[in-house]
Amino acid sequence: MIVKLSVKGLHFSYGSAEILRDVNLDIRDGQVVSIVGPNGSGKSTLIKCIDRILNPSKGEVIVDRQKVSGMKQMELARMIAYVPQNSLRVFPNTVFDVVLMGRRPHLGWREEARDEQKVWEVLGLLGIEDLALSLFTELSGGQQQKVLIARALAQETGVILLDEPTSNLDVWHQIDVMEILRTLVRSQDLTAIIAIHDLNTAARYSDTIIMMKGGKIFAAGRPEDVLTSENLAAVYGIHARVRNYDDIPHVIPLKQIPRKRGRV
Ligand SMILES: Nc1ncnc2c1ncn2[C@@H]1O[C@H](COP(=O)(O)OP(=O)(O)OP(=O)(O)O)[C@@H](O)[C@H]1O
Ligand SMILES: [Mg+2]
């Protein structure tokens, strides 16, 4: 097994609040890995620690046998791309220029024809060439989400982290994005790590599902081993049925297990 990315004994705190506790992962090359878990369970925090947007208080992230903590920024950007959950930064730029930003780790002093060609290639892959000259700020939420995915793919990294990449997409575009990611993972040895709430999409497209609860990994493995009624009860506090369809587990949430109302 070739390990692409390891997380070893990772802890992260915001002030005195410990958010991630002893997270350990070995992710193989060429896999689609989904991270699931309730709101606030630490999915985005883990993804940000992997991409060094946040600094863990303890532990290490290792990509291609190199510690992320010791890398130069551009070196890291050639290895890991990141699609944020919320794009707070507003780009008053054209879609073409936003996607071209993904080429920055590869650019020399001048834009090369190859970089522009790569931008057109990913815009084509995601079916958004016709938006190339539109302003990013004037797009719908779903269109913006596809542009940010395009930007990350233009970065041509071995690892892509996507934080809820399908949350603003209609079902057609959800399937489109997940199919594209799976195809790239299979054909180019890309490793995709995706935080996602839709358990059935996660089951259909993932080789591995990581289920988080309270800043820890509660379960990890094949979808059929992780998405069990017992785990769904323990992690989400719901009664659910799990049924196979197309040999893929499908979760049918039935009702909440009574509890004191928790915070979201
Ligand atoms: N900037 C911050 N300052 C303090 N606490 C934070 C900050 N960002 C997140 N947290 C806390 O860290 C915990 C984990 O948050 P995180 O965003 O990783 O959850 P998540 O699993 O991605 O949730 P969601 O499904 O809602 O996106 C939460 O309890 C949250 O309140
Ligand atoms: Mg999140």
pLDDT, one tens digit for every residue, the chain (264 residues): 688 999 999 999 999 999 999 999 999 999 999 999 999 999 999 999 999 999 999 999 999 999 999 999 999 999 999 999 877 667 789 999 999 999 988 876 666 888 999 999 999 999 999 999 999 999 999 999 999 999 999 999 999 999 999 999 999 999 999 999 999 999 988 999 999 999 999 999 999 999 999 999 999 999 999 999 999 999 999 999 999 999 999 999 999 999 876 666
Judge whether 263 lies within some domain. Answer: no
pLDDT at 50: 98
pLDDT at 88: 61
The residue whose CB lies within 8 Å of the most ligand 1 atoms, and thus the one to mutate among 34, 45, 55, is: 45
Judge whether 173 lies within some domain. Answer: yes
Judge whether 159 lies within some domain. Answer: yes
The total number of structural domains in the chain stands at 1
DSSP the chain: --EEEEEEEEEEEETTEEEEEEEEEEEETT-EEEEE--TTSSHHHHHHHHTTSS--SEEEEEETTEEGGGS-HHHHHHHEEEE-SS--S---SBHHHHHHHTTGGG--SS--HHHHHHHHHHHHHTT-GGGTTSBGGGS-HHHHHHHHHHHHHHT--SEEEEESTTTT--HHHHHHHHHHHHHHHHHH--EEEEE-S-HHHHHHH-SEEEEEETTEEEEEE-HHHHS-HHHHHHHH-EEEEEEEETTEEEEEEEEEPP-PPPP-
Decide whether any atom of ligand 1 lies within 6 Å of the 48 Cβ: no
Decide whether any atom of ligand 1 lies within 6 Å of the 14 Cβ: yes
Question: What CATH number has the domain bearing residue 199?
Answer: 3.40.50.300
Residues 6+ apart with CB under 8 A from 140: 168
Instruction: Residue 69: name the closest of 86, 43, 49, 41 by CA.
Output: 49
pLDDT at 92: 82
CA distance 139 to 136: 6
Judge whether 190 lies within some domain. Answer: yes
In which region does residue 184 sit, left (phi positive, over 0), alpha (psi from -120 to 50) or beta (all else)? Answer: alpha
pLDDT at 264: 65
Phi and psi dihedrals of 137, rounded to 5?
-70, -15
Judge whether 262 lies within some domain. Answer: no
What is the atom index within ligand 1 of the atom nearest the CA of 41? 21
**Is there a contact between 146 and 128 (Cβ–Cβ < 8 Å)?**
yes
pLDDT at 262: 60
What is the atom index within ligand 1 of the atom nearest the CA of 215? 14
Decide whether any atom of ligand 1 lies within 6 Å of the 84 Cβ: no
Full residue range of the structural domain in which residue 116 is found? 3-256
**Is there a contact between 222 and 208 (Cβ–Cβ < 8 Å)?**
yes
Judge whether 261 lies within some domain. Answer: no
Nearest CA to ligand 1 atom 1: 14
Residues 6+ apart with CB under 8 A from 109: none
**Is there a contact between 34 and 208 (Cβ–Cβ < 8 Å)?**
yes
Side chain identity at residue 161, one-letter code: L
CA distance 25 to 230: 22
Structure tokens belonging to residue 7 = 């997380």
